[in-house]
Amino acid sequence: MKKKVNIIGAGIAGLSAGCYLQMNGYETEIFELHSLPGGLCTAWKRGDYTFDGCIHWLVGSNPSDPFYSLWNELIDMKTITFVEPEEAMRVEDKEGRYIRVFSDIDKLQEEMSSKAPADAGLIRQFTNAVRKFSTFQLPLEKAPETCSLLDKFSFLLKCLPYFKDMKYWMGMTAQDLADQCTDPLLRKTFLYMFLPEMAALFLVFTQAWRHKKNAGYPIGGSLDFARRIEDTCLKLGGKVNYDARVSKIVVENDTAKGIQLANGEVHRADIVISAADGHCTIYDMLEGKYVSSKIQRHYDQSKVFPSYVQVSLGVGRTFEGIPHTTVFPLETPIKIDDSQASDHMGIRIFNFDPSMAPQGKTVMTSIFPTDDHSYWETLR
């Protein structure tokens, strides 16, 4: 008899878990509080417009990359059209100068060096790191917990040529990298390429993926991508329940035995997997009964990722030849909440995805970080 697995959450993690478990002979049932699959990998329909809320690029758009093979286990990647922009973004200043962040690293080095010649040494150091890491491939053939000592040793040998550079770029944030620039426009460009507090290694990796055309945007966007994984899960025999909020994980003798929904229904299982929010799982669904000092320290001390406000517009015109993403300064700062304002704005123009708007029209979005969650709750 097949073992029954209840999965909490129909985001990418929950749907993927359902797929792999069905492939391996388990009976799975997913419980999702929302009415749609995808979790954060989502979009919103407003009339004839679709406003995407997640994927800017997908690592694994290049068939030669291990991530492509990994995604291909869940969906037929050949059925997806990817856009690999020549220019990932453009950053402007008040004087009308701009730096184009080309995906091709040679073009990017030439662009940055011509606009900020005083920083040629730093630019060369960054672009050389991108070139080096464009040859790096993560070993994704096996899950880490199934790797033998020989597998791990083999991985270490493959990583050896990159260790020194990894340590160097992990040792500084994007803000630290930007602070080394003498040119203010180049400084802003590095800051807007990723979050200032993120390790500079993320900038290097992201640009390396772009350089080898492995960070494309899937036409159809985030919700369409999530629905493809949901479709695979259902075809494999899995079940997905929507508008099904889990309030409690049923525990007997310190072993999970099922889940209880907000409406009181109990669904028993041999195994329970939570692919939901960690804090909600540990402190609410498990009532805080299994909190180690390590977990408590993580939630007490770790920096919280900022929330974002997204403004989405359906515009009755097209924008041919305009960069997909442009960051530009504002004459008057925009108030975001009671404690934050922004002196710049980033605009993403979906002139590359015809599925987002009717013919002759375009979707535009802009996002702003905010740490004042109570401000937005009060506005409801």
pTM here is 0.94
Question: Could you state, in order of their start, the residue ranges of all structural domains in the chain?
Answer: 4-56+222-301, 85-212, 307-379
C-alpha span between 153 and 138 (Å, rounded):
14
**Letter string b/e over residues 44-66, b meaning 16 or more CB atoms within 10 A of that residue's CB:** eeeeebbbbbbbebbbbbbeebe
Q: How confident is the model at residue 48 (pLDDT cuts 50, 70, 90)?
A: very high
In the structure encoding, which two tokens stand for residue 343, read together?
A: 């002196």
C-alpha span between 235 and 159 (Å, rounded):
38
Question: What is the number of helices (H) and of strands (E) in the chain?
Answer: 13, 18
Q: What's the pLDDT tens digit per position in 297-352?
A: 999 999 888 889 999 999 999 998 899 999 999 999 999 999 899 999 999 999 99
Q: What is the pLDDT of residue 158?
A: 87
pLDDT for 221 beyond 90:
yes
55 contacts 221 by C-beta, under 8 angstroms: yes
Q: How confident is the model at residue 68 (pLDDT cuts 50, 70, 90)?
A: very high
Task: Please tell me whether residue 208 adopts helix, strand or coil conformation.
Answer: helix
Q: Give the mean pLDDT of 50-67.
A: 97
Q: What is the pLDDT of residue 218?
A: 98
Task: Please tell me whether residue 92 adopts helix, strand or coil conformation.
Answer: strand
Alpha-helical segments (H) within the chain: 12-23, 66-72, 105-115, 120-133, 149-159, 163-170, 174-179, 184-193, 200-211, 221-235, 278-279, 293-301, 373-379
C-alpha span between 259 and 377 (Å, rounded):
29
Q: How confident is the model at residue 139 (pLDDT cuts 50, 70, 90)?
A: confident
Q: How far is CA 78 from the centre of its chain?
A: 21
Top CATH class, 4-56+222-301: alpha beta
C-alpha span between 111 and 4 (Å, rounded):
56
pLDDT for 97 beyond 90:
yes
Q: How confident is the model at residue 373 (pLDDT cuts 50, 70, 90)?
A: confident
C-alpha span between 102 and 41 (Å, rounded):
26
Q: What is the pLDDT of residue 342?
A: 93
Q: What is the pLDDT of residue 135?
A: 95
233 contacts 38 by C-beta, under 8 angstroms: no
Name the phi and psi angles at 215, rounded to 5.
-140, 55
203 contacts 136 by C-beta, under 8 angstroms: no
Per-residue DSSP letters for 308-368? Answer: EEEEEEEESS--TT--SEEEEEEEEEEE-SSS-EEEEEEEEE-TT-GGGS-TT-EEEEEEE
